[in-house]
A and B are shown apart, each in its own frame.
Chain A
Amino acid sequence: MMDVGLSHFVVVSALLFCLGLFAVMKRRNAVGILMGVELILNSANLNFVAFSRYVQHTIDGQIMATFVIVLAAAEAAVALAIVLAMFRNFGNVNAATATSLKR
């Protein structure tokens, strides 16, 4: 087993990303989808920080990660508001029912 390096982080991040992707695609519960999105964002953040640490030796990656965290918070707030609105309108939070855009 080699030393923990950049590739380890990339692998972890890849796994996390794919789990998130899977969740987004598979989950019917809107909140579940949101959780998947959080996973994806976290995997991206992990990459940012890892690359910042291993390759660039600057702080830029971490700043990006900060922004991502902030935006994720904003996104979560709006998305959850939407979920609540949806719950009020449809009586459930199943993403499959919210297809009013169709037609």
Chain B
Amino acid sequence: MTAADLIFYALAALTLVPALWVVGSPNIVHAGFNLLLTLLGVAGLFAWLGADFLAVAQLMVYIGGVLVLVLFTVMMTRVPQAREADSGAKRAILPGLFALGVLVVLLLVATGTHWGAPALTDAQPTTAEIGANFMTSYIFPFEYVSLVLLAALIGAAILIREPRGTEEDDEAGAAVETAEEEVQS
């Protein structure tokens, strides 16, 4: 077991253990903070895989943008003392069963398949290559995605708009804009 392996397991744990809380915590705020850790773990795994650009994007977009947005929403929509009323085990039986089933199937596939993967080669910086690809082969998807983002931006703004125009609008709009900017960067 090399140091790299150890790092991997640590990162995997950082991803999965908080994820349990994300799923299970009755307190939505706790869940939100645990999601932060999970996303951090995934970013770490990206970095472990040599995807430096993605790791950074993950940090900035997800943790900086999405998560802030999530937390804002959580704060704004929180009814005092209203925990998840129906977090009881009974409700979780059927979903749990099916999720477990899917998991079993996936694990069987993951372990039962001979991947025949070659050993790792040295990781190269990927940012330049990704940028070049965006401007050449992936130019159309790239532009489409920009459009989608624009549409989402406008859509979110319209959805959130209240006829009388309260402060919430501005906040939500600002939040969306933040996300937008970070993606662009």
A and B touch in the complex (CB under 8 A): yes
- Spell out A's residues near B (CB within 8 Å): 1, 3-12, 14-23, 25-29, 31-32, 34-36, 38-39, 42, 45-46, 49-50, 52-55, 57, 59-60, 62-63, 65-67, 69-78, 80-85, 87-88, 91-93
Known A10-B110, A35-B70, A76-B69: A54·B76 in contact at CB below 8 Å: no
Interface of B is mostly: helix
Known A7-B110, A14-B110: A22·B74 in contact at CB below 8 Å: no
On whether the beta carbons of A4 and B130 are closer than 8 Å, the reply is no
Residue of B nearest to A76 (CB): B66
A-B contact pairs, 5 of them (CB 8 A): A11-B110, A31-B32, A49-B45, A53-B50, A55-B115
Interface of A is mostly: helix
- Spell out B's residues near A (CB within 8 Å): 1-2, 4-5, 8-9, 12, 15-16, 19-20, 22-23, 28, 31-32, 35, 38-39, 42, 45-46, 49-51, 53-54, 57-58, 61-62, 65-66, 69-70, 73-74, 76-77, 79, 82, 84-87, 91-92, 94-96, 98-100, 102-103, 106-107, 109-111, 113, 115, 117-118, 120-121, 126, 129-130, 133-134, 138, 141, 145, 148-149, 152-153, 155-157, 159-160, 162, 168, 172, 175-176, 179-180, 182-183
Residue of A nearest to B151 (CB): A74
Choose from A17, A49, A54, A81 the contact partner of B159 (Cβ within 8 Å): A81
On whether the beta carbons of B46 and A83 are closer than 8 Å, the reply is no
On whether the beta carbons of A77 and B152 are closer than 8 Å, the reply is yes
A34 → chain B closest CB, angstroms: 7
A-B contacts besides A15-B16, A15-B19, 17 pairs, CB < 8 Å: A11-B107, A12-B15, A14-B110, A16-B19, A20-B19, A36-B23, A38-B39, A45-B42, A45-B58, A49-B54, A65-B51, A69-B61, A73-B179, A76-B70, A77-B156, A78-B152, A80-B156
A31 → chain B closest CB, angstroms: 5
Residue of A nearest to B5 (CB): A4
Known A19-B22, A25-B98, A29-B28: A69·B57 in contact at CB below 8 Å: yes
Query: 9 tightest CB-CB pairs across the interface, nearest first?
Result: A25-B95, A74-B152, A14-B106, A22-B99, A81-B156, A10-B110, A18-B103, A81-B159, A54-B117
